[in-house]
Amino acid sequence: MAKDTKESLRSLNIYQIFLRQHTEAGTFLSLIKDLPRIKTLGMDYIYLLPIHPIGKENRKGSIGSPYSISDYRAVNPDFGTEADFVTLIEKANQEGLKVMIDVVFNHTSHDAVLLKEHPEWYYRKNGKLAGKVGDWWDITDLDFTHRGLWDYLIETLVKWAKLGVDGFRCDVAPMVPQAFWLEAREAVKKVNPSLIWLSETVHGEFVKYIRDSGFEAMSDSETFEAFDICYDYDIHHDFLGYVQHHKPLNDWLKAMLRQEYTFPRNYVKLRNLENHDQERIAHFIENPMKLLNMTATLFFLKGATMIYAGQEYGVTKRPDLFEVDKVDLSNHNLELRNLIHRMSHLKKDSLFQTGLFNIHLQDKEAIVISYENKNSMTFGIFNVGQVKGEVEVKLPDGTYQNILYPNQVVVKGGRLTLTDKPMVLFGLKQNI
């Protein structure tokens, strides 16, 4: 972890937005009208996929990937002007939301401003522009052996911080040198000491692939030294194994428990069930009660939470990255939306920041998680498999109130009968 990372970030709720797909106009100003709705979900940050102009050369699709950037210091004219972006930040701040933007410093488009001005700052293979990952053919990689590149990119980050940006989500950050990120963090801190650094860390297999190809790639532990929050792709294969029905639930839960001794005590992982690179969770989980329980679990996990726009309504289709493909935000799953509202506010309790975290493995397809400190404790019971029977809970016998829904549950002999909906039990230690 970065030395000044705060454990309070474990209560952070982030709402990811693909602006092109989010509103009919797909502009900064058109997003403003949706800010109050996003805030009522209990969100703290809106995170925007790259806001910069997209390269035209070697485009994928008719519009291109937002990750093929032609100018780091400009905004995509399809979204509006830089002044419009500042207005969005101001309006978001008025709603109690902060703005995080995507930082894509591993590569640029093939017709980038930087390539024209400083062609020497690019990685080449056999004298030709190249990338380290074969199927990313719409972009070309930067070469961080050049000190001038560092200065340019750090000045770019400072520019956006001065405009009011409060967070950077850094794309494939492990492929960029750790020393660069550490220096950038210190420079930005002088402008905005509370700005949050989120790394898109990568799957372990991808780290090995890059290293085996002769390049550098940071592990999660190395990345944590410069970043506040890291993706949980280190255990994503276990999560996918469960939702795709070829691995047991407890494999994912055990992998999460291993993070407790793998990373520093104050580690903050980003917990998400879906994002712009991954299929919608509702694509995998069609049963509405299973989806409800998995969503409640998400907010109960140790770490910051992110949802992708449309997830709150159970949208099943992931928007296309290279074409116009609007997200359906009509209110067709208010039960899921209301649960997210309750869970996101519940997560603000300090128990989720500094409490002792435990996952209590069961012999059936259900999740039991607890947090406790010297004064209070909470248990989350999530019937993700919609199974019958009882689970073990380390609570004294008695009747407890499920604070998610207006019903009481009974613990007898250290066991509790599962229901179809998620349960959260909360109480002071002297009372239980």
* pLDDT above 60 for 371: yes
* pLDDT above 90 for 73: yes
Q: What is the mean pLDDT of residues 134-138?
A: 81
Residue type, 288: P
Q: What is the mean pLDDT of residues 309-333?
A: 95
Structure confidence at residue 3 as a pLDDT band (50, 70, 90): confident
Which residues fall within 8 angstroms of residue 66, CB to CB, at 6 or more apart? 18, 20, 49, 50, 52, 54, 76, 102, 321
CA end-to-end distance (rounded Å), the chain: 35
Q: Given the structure tokens 């909470």, which residue do they identify?
A: 378
Structure confidence at residue 431 as a pLDDT band (50, 70, 90): low
Distance CA 41, CA 338 (A): 8
- The predicted structure's pLDDT at residue 132: 87
- The predicted structure's pLDDT at residue 430: 62
pLDDT single digits (tens) 226-240? 999 999 999 999 999
Distance CA 64, CA 57 (A): 9
- The predicted structure's pLDDT at residue 432: 53
Structure confidence at residue 1 as a pLDDT band (50, 70, 90): low
- The predicted structure's pLDDT at residue 426: 84
Q: Given the structure tokens 């401003």, which residue do they identify?
A: 113
Q: What is the mean pLDDT of residues 34-61?
A: 97
Q: What is the mean pLDDT of residues 13-39?
A: 98
Residue type, 369: I
pTM for this prediction = 0.96
- The predicted structure's pLDDT at residue 406: 83
- The predicted structure's pLDDT at residue 181: 98
pLDDT single digits (tens) 196-217? 999 999 999 999 999 999 999 9
Q: Report whether 332 contacts 313 (CB < 8 A).
A: yes
- The predicted structure's pLDDT at residue 332: 83
Mind listing the domains of the chain with CATH numbers? 7-354 (3.20.20.80), 367-431 (2.60.40.1180)
* pLDDT above 80 for 62: yes
Structure tokens at 271: 């917990």
pLDDT single digits (tens) 272-320? 999 999 999 999 999 999 999 999 999 999 999 999 999 999 999 999 9
- The predicted structure's pLDDT at residue 308: 98
Length of the chain: 432
Q: Given the structure tokens 């199974």, which residue do they identify?
A: 387
Kind and range of the H or E run holding 303: none
* pLDDT above 90 for 252: yes
Q: What value does the mean pLDDT of the chain take?
A: 95
Q: Given the structure tokens 């905005």, which residue do they identify?
A: 192
- The predicted structure's pLDDT at residue 286: 94
- The DSSP secondary-structure symbol of 291 reads H
Structure confidence at residue 427 as a pLDDT band (50, 70, 90): confident
